[in-house]
Amino acid sequence: MSIPSDLKYTKSHEWTRLEADGTVTVGITHHAQELLGDMVYVETPAVGRQLAAGEECAVVESVKAASDVYAPLAGEVIAVNAEVVDAPEKINQDAYAAWMFKIKPGNPADLDGLLAAAAYQALVESEAH
């Protein structure tokens, strides 16, 4: 339930969703928000910014700690979610609805390099031990 099978994931706990128009929506996983606790601040990348894969491009801060968000794949930022900037607690309420930004991938095949739900599940479980 907390790791939807139709999404792809990163080792740094971002989720990605390939949209019908070829763009990729990005957020942080349910597991990540659970580790961080109550969210109080979100900083999104500037629209138009060119991201390299793995680049620090956004920040989430909970009461407890600040955490960087990394670009899951290379591409241009084409939209950001102002709603989570105004109400960071939306990430706690539903991490997969509270997307942070959308990328137009430079190379759509890059998505294949990301983790499927089962692999991400295994990663989360291995980190718990």
Partner 1 sequence: MLKQTPLNQTHRDMGARMVDFGGWDMPVNYGSQIEEHHQVRRAAGMFDVCHMLVVDVTGSGIREFLQYLLANNVDKLKEPGKALYSCMLNPAGGVIDDLIVYFMREDWFRIVVNAGTADKDVAWMEQQLAARAPQLTIQPRRDLAMIAVQGPQAREKVWQAIPAARAATEFLKPFQAAEFDQYFIGRTGYTGEDGFEIMLPVSEAAGLWKTLNTLGVAPIGLGARDTLRLEAGMNLYGQDMDEDVNPLEAGLAWTVELASPRDFIGKPALLAKTVKMQMLGLVLLDKGVLRGHQKVVTSHGAGEITSGSFSPTLNLSIAFARLPLAVAVGDVVQVEIRDKLHNAKVVKLPFARNGKALI
End-to-end CA distance of the chain: 21
Q: Does 83 bind partner 1 (CB under 8 A)?
A: no
Between CA 61 and CA 68 the distance in angstroms is 9
Q: Measured from the CB atom, is 50 or 64 closer to partner 1?
A: 64
Taking CB under 8 A as the criterion, the residue among 17, 18, 78, 92 binding partner 1 is: 92
Q: Does 118 bind partner 1 (CB under 8 A)?
A: no
- Please report how close the Cβ of residue 26 comes to partner 1 at its closest, in angstroms: 19
Q: Measured from the CB atom, is 85 or 111 closer to partner 1?
A: 85
Tokens of 68: 């960087």
Report the residue count for the chain: 129
Between CA 12 and CA 47 the distance in angstroms is 22
Taking CB under 8 A as the criterion, the residue among 18, 53, 59, 79 binding partner 1 is: 59
Q: Does 47 bind partner 1 (CB under 8 A)?
A: no
Given a contact cutoff of 8 angstroms between Cβ atoms, the answer to whether 107 and 93 are in contact is: no
Within the chain, what is the greatest distance between any pair of CA atoms?
40
Q: Does 112 bind partner 1 (CB under 8 A)?
A: no
- Please report how close the Cβ of residue 100 comes to partner 1 at its closest, in angstroms: 15
Between CA 70 and CA 49 the distance in angstroms is 13
Positions touching partner 1 (CB under 8 A) are: 34, 37-38, 40-41, 43, 59, 61, 63-64, 66, 92
